[in-house]
Amino acid sequence: MARSLLLLALCGLGASFTTSRNALSVAPVRQTASAAPEMKFRVCDMTGKRRNAKAMTVTFSHTRNHKVQKVNLQDRRLWWSEGNKFVQMRVSTKALKTIAKYGLGKTAKKYDVDLNEFAR
């Protein structure tokens, strides 16, 4: 009985010290641009290569299981001599070999890529 009276007194005491409900409310949280990062697909910016979902693993007993072959992508900062600037691209290693052989300008022309979109 004494315990319940003490509890009631404490609740009444706590209620007398509270202010309006607005003072106790919490300000809403604003979302910033960094809160939701942009997810990029694993696609080569130059050639358009993407994953191969039709690959198979063949076991010794010739059982076939599906597997996914991913693209070997590299984030690269490449010098574009015709544009006299750097371009930041996510390219496959196959595209890097093509760029090394023919140059960035010819490779972009071959795959119909506008390098100004990737310029920094």
Give the per-residue pLDDT at 41. Answer: 81
- DSSP symbols for 35-57: GSPPPPPS--TTT----EEEEEE
**How many DSSP H helices and E strands does the chain contain?**
4, 4
Structural domains for the chain: 41-120 (2.30.170.40)
Give the per-residue pLDDT at 65. Answer: 97
**Pick from 103, 101, 71, 72: nearest CA to 87:** 103
Give the per-residue pLDDT at 40. Answer: 74
Give the per-residue pLDDT at 120. Answer: 81
Chunked into runs of 10 residues, the chain (120 residues) has average pLDDT values of 68 60 60 65 93 96 97 95 94 96 96 93
